[in-house]
Amino acid sequence: MRNKGYVMTWDAIIALIFVILVGISIISLEQMRSINVKKIGFLEIHSTGENSIGVLNKMGILEDIVIYWSENNTQLANDTATFYLEQFIPKTMGYRLTIGNDTVCENQRILEAEAVEKTGAGRFISGYGENKSGEFVARAWLLYNDTSTNKSFSIGNVSYGRGTMNSDGCNWTIEYINATNGNENVTLLIPSDYSDNRSCNYTGSSHSEPGGGDAINDAIYRLLSKIDWNPDDGILDKINDYDYNFTVMKFKVANISTPAFINTTDVNLILWMG
């Protein structure tokens, strides 16, 4: 009887050890699964943040947003940033774009206070350098007005160009493809308050760079060449998948004759998810 009791006791001990080991294994697997889920979540928002701000930077949109902000055009900075970020960032994430200490745009569809994972991606936007005394530099962008929301955002831009002795503008004739009627011309005063009699062309028959050393005309020509898919033909077609339409698209210019944008600006995109 004693031998039988001894064997039964060891069977119970071995069974208990087996149960403990199984329990430890299950707990370890759950912990590893939890760690892996958190790791995947962090990698997802980290890659989304880096990709989003990287694409904005490569497109030149990030620089546009910084310039709008620096000119105190906060609404245009907000609308442009929101338009693009809403395309890049999934609805499972909230986000905030900041420049310096200012918030440019934010979406709290996922409450930041309840976030499980949070990360940020940043870029430094350097200045364009000082222009020489007595010279002008200009930049240009194409503004699209979304009539469904009545908000505007940039769909094409060029930064400040070379220094010139003048910055007046021109009476521009631009040829574009009309999907219904074929090629058409539109004549625009750029800037809108231009009052002189000079004419400039970006058409199939004449699309060379304007002479005369004018900073605004230099910027407009660079912009037209950039947004034209085939700059050799001098005819505008689709611009970022939009047909050119002068009723909802406006050419805008800014020019300066004093040093500007010489500091480095810190831009950060913060993302979080529940």
pLDDT tens digits, 143-154: 999 888 888 999
Both structure tokens of 240: 């970022």
Range with lowest mean pLDDT among 23-37, 169-183, 226-240, 260-274? 23-37
pLDDT at 222 over 80: yes
Q: Which of 226, 106, 250, 255 is nearest to 168 (CA)?
A: 255
**What integer pLDDT is reported at residue 28 of this predicted model?**
54
pLDDT at 208 over 50: yes
Whether the CA torsion 152, 153, 155, 158 is positive or negative: it is positive
Beta bridge partners of 266: 124
Mean pLDDT value across residues 115-135: 67
pLDDT at 38 over 50: no
Mean pLDDT value across residues 15-44: 58
Hey, how many other C-beta atoms are within 10 angstroms of the C-beta on 264?
A: 9
CA distance 110 to 38: 17
CA distance 171 to 179: 25
Q: Cα-flanking dihedrals φ and ψ of residue 45, to 5°? A: -75, -30
Report which of residues 79 and 126 the model is more confident about. Answer: 79
Q: pLDDT for 56-84, tens place per residue?
A: 988 889 988 888 887 778 899 999 999 99
Q: Mean pLDDT, the chain, as a whole number? A: 82
pLDDT at 8 over 90: no
Q: Cβ distance 53 to 267 under 8 Å?
A: yes
